[in-house]
Amino acid sequence: MNYSQLFIPTLREIPADAVIASHRLMFRAGLLRKLSNGLFAYLPLGFRSFKKVENIIREEMDAIGALEIKPTVIVPGELWKESGRWDLFGDSLLRLKNRLNNDFVVSPTAEEAFTAIVRDELSSYRQLPLTLYQINTKFRDEIRPRYGVMRGREFVMKDAYSYHADEASLDETYQAMGRAYRRIFKRCGLTVIPVKADSGAMGGSGSEEFMVESEIGDNTLILCKDCDYAANVEKASCAADYALPEPESADSIMSIENAKAAAANTPPYEKIDTPDVKTIDDLCAFLKTEPKNFIKTLIYRAVNVELDLSGAPGCSKLERSKPSKDAPFVYTEAFFAAAIRGDLDINEVKLASLLKAGEVSLTCDADVIRLTNAPVGFAGPIGLTEIPVIIDKSVSAMNDAVTGALEKDLHYRHAAYGRDFTSWMIEDIRTVKAGDRCSLCGGELYIKTGNELGHIFKLGNKYTRSMNVTYLDENGKSQIPVMGCYGVGVDRTLASVIEEHHDEAGIIWPASVAPFHIIIVPIKYAGEVKNSADKLASELTKAGFEVLLDDRDERPGVKFNDADLTGIPWRVVIGEKGIAQKKVEIKHRRDKENRMIDLNKAVIELVKNIRDELDQLKK
């Protein structure tokens, strides 16, 4: 294809709102233009690469037996009301009405649409398992769309939904998806970090996120230097940093017996005066000790708690709202004390998932005073009976600690877990930080921020139950299928390829997603140079490669800059002097130096190199 016939409006200047490389380069290289905030149009060059990403995803989905369908983008609001998400999704769901005043939504995701299609057709276990997918437009009315197509309002996603008679079958598809996702990202030339997470509230069945490292990523990842442990900080755990008697180390909680034994030489706990001491730092200075010798106790308010609190301290009269078959215990509001070693921090996301709570936050001072009978700053696990006390595993190893005494200006010292206090619940509620040790191998943990490109998720029967999907099993009994969902953002994947493959001059496309494989740059598109350029382009095209021929009447410098900016992997320069000796100059976009080769060897050389790269990406 000739450059002059393509619409490639490259820019010298950088768009003012473009802070990341992919956003900058997609505009500068003429791949993309902005229609409005969070709404982008792909221009010819950008759309060529976009379709290549789509096709890689399509090939890998087809290879594992997923079936592509084409549902609508506009979906009846009724389906979203059935699933319960009409109310839950909030303002990022774009709702609209037609002339008959019926509700519709512009799909941000399609569990409802797919499940409705399957519901109408599914009758027998013989039809299962079934995996359907689409590569289709989605819309989320983000408050702050940013970073170009990395976080746009309209985007294209591959979303797949699978339906199964049992968990084993779901697991098989889930595993196959995980392998397909690894291949998809590898073929796009991306280095992804698969992050396994327990999906907690969904029944603990499992999910895996595929992240790329990114300075603007909205996920904080905890990674191990020595093994492939990777977790979202919200879920990350680490090895206990205290000695546990064997064989307890596996669970990193000291048993009450062992804790008591460890406290054998600790003097009995006693009250001490700590006047005008409010913070742990004050206390440290006052007692001339370190934060790790304190038990820090905080009071939390949790809303929409779905955990059974009927046996928990102080909870017998809690107000319960709307219990259902799936959530028999829904407490509108409940209070908890959470205690952790003084040098560590409580992870509110872990706490919320432990309590199956909609939200968990530190409560107000008035509630602290009411629940602990003491001013803020003097809470502690000894004698705290008004509310359930949750302690972090780290507290189980504390046998001579300082803690609040539930009275103004008083603390206890020599407090020992097991001997002086226990808890309603003992769990890992600690925020893992850089430098903590890996629970798998003991290696050092470090932090990176990442962007999620894909997510695979076991949903269980959440949607199939709420939307009344059933089938008849082998015995003619009606059953509810289990379901999985699997998404990849196409735009975000494309932008991430540019994030990983660029330099100051522009994009450096991997061959698999490059808009063209080869750019031929005639120094002056005329005479023998033109003939040779045309012939080379036609031969390479015949060999199955995509060639862009820069036929513009521009200075060589301009053409070279545009070739670098648009990032086409192989550049062939044809000049009068070279062609007189039947030579052309070739260079990979990554390389600094070019080399002269015989014109009649150019096709073989380029074909071999591109095939090698494509094969390498597919391995």
Note the residues at the interface with Zn ion (CB under 5 A).
224, 226-227, 229, 438, 440-441, 443
Is the CB of 268 or the CB of 435 nearer to Zn ion?
435
By 3-state DSSP, what share of the chain in percent is helix, strand and coil, each rounded to 5?
A: 30, 30, 40
The beta-strand segments (E) located in 429-495 are 445-460, 471-472, 478-479, 482-489
**Min dist. Cβ of residue 228 to Zn ion (A):** 8
SS3 of 104, please? strand
Beta bridge partners of 44: none
Euclidean distance between CA atoms 469 and 284, whole angstroms? 60
Task: Rounding to the nearest 10 degrees, give the CA dihedral for residues 348, 350, 355, 359.
Answer: 40
- Cβ atoms < 10 Å from Cβ of 331: 23
**Min dist. Cβ of residue 222 to Zn ion (A):** 10
Is the CB of 229 or the CB of 525 nearer to Zn ion?
229
Is the CB of 226 or the CB of 365 nearer to Zn ion?
226
Euclidean distance between CA atoms 566 and 44, whole angstroms? 12
**Min dist. Cβ of residue 432 to Zn ion (A):** 12
Is the CB of 96 or the CB of 227 nearer to Zn ion?
227
Phi, psi of 558 (to 5 degrees): -65, -45
Classify residue 326 as exposed, middle or buried by CB count within 10 Å of its CB (0-12, 13-18, 19+).
Answer: exposed
Is the CB of 354 or the CB of 445 nearer to Zn ion?
445
Question: Residues 6 or more apart from 477 whose CB is under 8 A from it?
Answer: none
CB 252 within 8 A of CB 414: no
**Min dist. Cβ of residue 237 to Zn ion (A):** 11
CA distances to 168, 222, 393, 448, 546 from 433, rounded to whole Å, are: 36, 8, 16, 11, 48
Is the CB of 432 or the CB of 514 nearer to Zn ion?
432
**Min dist. Cβ of residue 224 to Zn ion (A):** 3
In the structure encoding, which two tokens stand for residue 87, read together?
A: 């109310």
**Min dist. Cβ of residue 225 to Zn ion (A):** 7
Q: How far apart are the first and last CA of the chain?
A: 30
**Min dist. Cβ of residue 239 to Zn ion (A):** 9
SS3 of 480, please? coil
Question: Residues 6 or more apart from 493 whose CB is under 8 A from it?
Answer: 53, 57, 184, 185, 188, 190, 453, 454
Phi, psi of 154 (to 5 degrees): -100, 135
Q: Which DSSP string corresponds to 392-413?
A: EGGGGG-SSEEEEEEETTEEEE
Is the CB of 54 or the CB of 208 nearer to Zn ion?
208
Is the CB of 229 or the CB of 336 nearer to Zn ion?
229
**Min dist. Cβ of residue 392 to Zn ion (A):** 21
Preceding peptide of 569 cis, ω within 30°: no
**Min dist. Cβ of residue 332 to Zn ion (A):** 41
**Min dist. Cβ of residue 446 to Zn ion (A):** 11
Is the CB of 200 or the CB of 443 nearer to Zn ion?
443
Is the CB of 201 or the CB of 440 nearer to Zn ion?
440
Is the CB of 441 or the CB of 580 nearer to Zn ion?
441
Euclidean distance between CA atoms 251 and 240, whole angstroms? 9
**Min dist. Cβ of residue 181 to Zn ion (A):** 22
Provide the residue count of the chain.
619
HEC secondary structure over 36-91: ECCEEEECHHHHHHHHHHHHHHHHHHHHCCCEECCCCCEEEHHHHHHHCHHHHCHH
**Min dist. Cβ of residue 443 to Zn ion (A):** 4
**Min dist. Cβ of residue 440 to Zn ion (A):** 4
CB 435 within 8 A of CB 225: no
Distance from CA of residue 28 to its chain's centroid?
28
Match 């005073």 to its residue by tokens: 369
Is the CB of 96 or the CB of 441 nearer to Zn ion?
441
Is the CB of 135 or the CB of 432 nearer to Zn ion?
432
